[in-house]
Structure 1
Amino acid sequence: MDIYKPLVALIAMVNPIGVIPFFIAFTQDLDRFQRKRTIRVAAFTCFTVIAVSALAGLKVIEFFGISIASFQVGGGTLLLINALAMLNAKPAESGSVSTADAGTHIAVVPLAIPLLTGPATISTMVIYAQKTQHWWQQSVLVGYGVVVGAVVWLCFTASGRIAKALGATGINIMTRLMGLILAALAVELLASGLIDLFPVLGSPKLKG
């Protein structure tokens, strides 16, 4: 196993820079302390997902009787719900949880899962974990989770400067735009999962 390929793949898939606009949109109504807590929880959650995927992989999902395809459909549904909230320029989860807990909820879902670490990340870690031959190689994969978590923390911490530059109007515009993009991503995730679950949906006859 090429020891550096997993890290390159993880950074590319997690893409914390690309998630910054969503982070700004979801945390615009949080105070400084709540935002910092959201960053810490999101970064730690990313590390946890990567580490568990590397060490246990599909065994955890299979324990609950969940397939990757089902995970994709569930993740796509969560994304779509948050996208609809964003299209109304409302931070996700704000209506269902208290302000004190909103940051933690947003940090885990949808920021860490599935925006940063989704089915693709889990599947990739499982594939690389299966290629390992020594315990230290699995330890390296877990270490990459620490690196990714640190990168997420750095990127989200720098998002405050972007938010100040945009202002309230700019954030509202960006929130709706990101909501539209997020809805499209959700549909793609749902479609991919549904086709895997029901292959007939992807048959040429239905497409025609």
Structure 2
Amino acid sequence: MSATRFFVEAFVTMFVIMDPPGVIPLFLAYTGGRSRQERKSIAWQAAVTAFCLIVVFAVFGQAILGYLHVEVPAMQIAGGLLLLLVALELLRGAAQPSAEAMRSNVNVALVPLGTPLLAGPGAIVATIVFAQQAASRPGGYLALGLAIAAVHLVLWVFMRFSVSIIRVIKENGVELVTRIAGLLLSALAVQLIINAIRALLR
């Protein structure tokens, strides 16, 4: 697999998992009543928080697996199941902010936006798996790094211009994109499990 193809695969997978269009209604809900400037700041902080967490797991994820004596195929199966759960939530529209979280005075850019909504279990597992795959591909680490950076840039853009975007595509448009993302993510999750089983049977 070329570095370009690996970049595309990692970017598309991370994009579907982190679901920038689906973040818009959640971002608006958690930042309700905030000024335009505050929303800009929260969007930036949330993207940076998620990026830092993903990078940490990309760099140290395999070491953590080694310390816990967990094989990569096992992690792939667990990750596939987690991704499938995330996909089902997207398909059912179950990922909604709680009233308590919306009323909280804590920095929502860190929790729950930065994590677990953006850098959640699915994104973390996918990052660890891609980091393991990058080791065996020329330019794999560079491609993965660029994919991670690109996804978080897109996330920031969607949150930064969330009010303008939702005016264009409307809430029904966001709902449609979220459902499509859930369908694609479910297929990716199943494929991840199939690949892991094949690896174990070799």
Q: Give the TM bin, normalised by the shorter chain.
A: 0.5 to 0.7
Q: Which residue of 2 aligns with 1:175?
A: 178
| Residues 189-204 of structure 1 mapped to structure 2, 5 A cutoff | 189-197=192-200, 199=201
Partner of 1:44: 52
Q: 1:19 aligns with which of 15, 21, 25?
A: 15
Residues 1:83 and 1:49: Cα distance change in structure 2 (over 3 Å): same
Q: Deviations over 1:97-130 (max 9, x none)?
A: 9454331212221563245x241x22134336xx
Q: Which residue of 2 aligns with 1:105?
A: 116
C-alpha distance 23-79 of structure 1, shift in aligned 2 (>3 A): same
Percent identity of equivalent pairs:
19
Deviation of the 1:75 alpha carbon: 1.0
Letter in structure 1 aligned against 2:157 = A
CA contact (8 A) 2:81 2:189 kept: yes
List alignment gaps of at least 5 residues for structure 2.
32-38, 103-107
**Quick one: distance in 1 between partners of 2:116 and 2:76?**
20
Unaligned runs of 5+ in 1: 132-140, 201-208
Q: TM-score, normalised by structure 2?
A: 0.67
Question: Quick check: 1:67 aligned with 2:71?
Answer: yes
The structural deviation recorded for 1:196 is: 2.8
The CA RMSD over aligned residues, in Å, is: 3.6
TM-score (norm: length of structure 1): 0.65
User: Residue 111 and residue 72 in structure 1: after superposition, are their counterparts in 2 closer, same or farther (change >3 A)?
Assistant: closer
Greater RCO structure (CA 8 Å; 6+ sep): 2
The separation in 2 between residues aligned to 1:60 and 1:74, in whole angstroms, is 15
Q: Is the 8 A contact 2:8 2:147 kept in 1?
A: no
Q: Does structure 2 conserve the Cα–Cα contact (< 8 Å) formed by 1:83 and 1:183?
A: yes
Q: CA offsets per residue over residues 28-50 of structure 1, 9 Å max, x none?
A: 22223654433222222232233
The partner residue of 2:84 within 80, 86, 92 is: 80
What is the total number of aligned residue pairs between the two structures?
176
Report the 3-state secondary structure (helix = DSSP H, G, I; strand = E; otherwise coil) of the residue aligned with 2:93. Answer: coil
Provide, for residues 173-201 of structure 1, a one-character-per-residue CA deviation record: whole Å limited to 9, x for no partner: 1111211111111111122223333x29x
User: Quick one: structure 1 residues 98 and 111, their matched pair in 2 at CA, closer, same or farther if it must change by over 3 Å?
Assistant: farther
Larger Rg computed on CA atoms:
1
Q: Distance in 1 between matches of 2:136 and 2:64?
A: 15
Amino acid at match of 1:107: L
User: What are the Cα deviations for residues 4-52 of structure 1, in whole angstroms up to 9, with x where unaligned?
Assistant: x86x576334316971781221452222365443322222223223333
1:28 to 25, 41, 49: 25
Q: State how far apart, in whole Å, the 1-side matches of 2:174 and 2:13 are.
A: 16
